Amino acid sequence: MKLKKGDIIIVLVLVIASGFWALNNYIGNTRSVDNLVVEVNGEVYKKIPTSELKEDQHIHIDFENNRYIDIAANESGTWVEDVICPDKLCQKTGVINKIGQSIVCLPNKVVIYYEGEKNQEIDNVAY
């Protein structure tokens, strides 16, 4: 089966588009992240500058009714290591490492996120 001129054009357009997408996601999306913030009951529990994340950080928070949450962080990201709650969705969230990503544990009322300088990017446009 021979490739026709139109097939080659479609393949080239797809390769170029995927290249731009990769550049935007991996190079163009570098934002200045300043702090890792852990909030409990809507109040800041701990704020860690990202410069301190070169070494592993572990945060253990105890709650009433024998509940707790263990949070781990390093320069590659932040994740929930262990938690006592019914569904463990916060643990299943995985690693976060960019502004705009967050981990939320509703039963324990914990929110983990990165704060810093946001670039004004258009996320979506509706007409």
Reported as a single tens digit per residue, the pLDDT across 62-80 is 998 899 999 999 989 999 9
Please provide the size of the chain in residues. 127
Is residue 127 very low, low, confident or very high in pLDDT (cuts 50, 70, 90)? Answer: low
Spell out where the chain has E strands: 32-40, 43-49, 57-62, 68-74, 77-83, 102-105, 110-117
pLDDT digits (tens, 9 = 90+) for 91-123: 999 999 888 889 999 999 999 999 887 654 555
> Could you tell me which CATH class the domain 32-117 is placed in?
mainly beta
- The rounded percent of the chain whose pLDDT value lies above 90 is 54
- C-alpha triplet 49, 107, 86: angle, nearest 5°: 115
Tell me the three state secondary structure of residue 80. strand
- The rounded percent of the chain whose pLDDT value lies above 70 is 85
